[in-house]
Structure 1
Amino acid sequence: MPRLIRLYVASIATGFALSLVFLGAVLAMDVAGLRGLILGSSSGLVAAVMLVVFNGIVFSGVQFAIAISRLAEDDDAPRGGLRQHLVPIPVRVEARGKQLRRGRR
Structure 2
Amino acid sequence: MPELVKMYIRNVVIGFCIAAVFVAMLLWFNVMNLWGLVFTSDAGLLAVFLLWFMHGIVFAGVQFAWAVMAMAEKDGGPRRGTPVVNEFQPVRVPADEPSQRERQLRSRR
TM class by shorter chain equals 0.7 to 0.9
Q: What whole-Å deviation, never above 9, does each CA across 1:19-60 have from its counterpart, x for those lacking one?
A: 110011000110011110001111000000000100000000
List gaps (5 residues or longer) in structure 1: 90-105
Deviation at 1:83, TM superposition (A): 3.5
Q: Structure 2: which amino acid aligns with 1:69?
A: M
Deviant stretches of 4+, over 3 Å: 82-85
Q: TM-score scaled to structure 1, two decimals?
A: 0.77
Q: Structure 2: which amino acid aligns with 1:40?
A: T
SS in 2 for 1:74: coil
Correspondence list, 1:29-44, <5 A: 29-44=29-44
Who is 2:49 aligned against?
49
Q: TM-score scaled to structure 2, two decimals?
A: 0.75
Instruction: Give the distance between the partners of 2:88 and 2:36, measured in 1 at CA.
Output: 66
Q: What RMSD, in angstroms, separates the aligned Cα atoms of the two structures? A: 1.8
Who is 1:26 aligned against?
26
The answer to which structure has the higher helix fraction is: 2
Instruction: Give the distance between the partners of 2:34 and 2:48, measured in 1 at CA.
Output: 10
Q: Whose Rg is larger?
A: 2
Percent identity, please: 38
Count of aligned residue pairs for this structure pair: 90
